[in-house]
């Protein structure tokens, strides 16, 4: 048991020759950006539906899904 504790103590020692790892930055606001874009796109689609009745919203909703998917992929690559 003592040799295991000694090995653990050796593994847990801090080596002063190496700098500490940089702090991990948490990306804040990613979900709020996505939610904001979704709200903006929905608002634009509803305005288009109201002021341009010849454009049918039922035909446009797949584009909303595509745009959200592209946005999620694009934000994930950064």
pLDDT (tens digit, 9 = 90+) per residue, 22-66? 776 666 666 777 777 788 878 887 787 788 888 777 777 788 788
Name the helix (H) or strand (E) containing 62: helix 57-77
Q: What is the pLDDT of residue 52?
A: 83
Tokens of 49: 């539906």
Neighbours of 38 (CB within 10 A): 14
Domain that residue 50 falls in: 21-77
Q: What angle do CA 60, 62, 68 make, to 5 degrees?
A: 110
Number of domains the chain is built from: 1
CA distances to 2, 51, 55 from 43, in Å: 68, 12, 15
Q: What is the pLDDT of residue 39?
A: 81
Can you give the pTM of this predicted structure? 0.43
């Amino acid at each position: 048991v003592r040799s295991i504790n000694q090995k653990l103590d050796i593994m847990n020692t801090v080596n002063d020759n190496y700098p500490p790892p940089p702090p991990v930055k948490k990306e804040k606001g990613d979900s709020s950006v996505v939610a904001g874009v979704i709200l903006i796109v929905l608002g634009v689609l509803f305005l288009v539906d109201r002021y341009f009745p010849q454009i049918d919203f039922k035909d446009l909703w797949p584009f909303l899904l595509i745009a959200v998917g592209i946005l999620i992929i694009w934000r994930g690559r950064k």
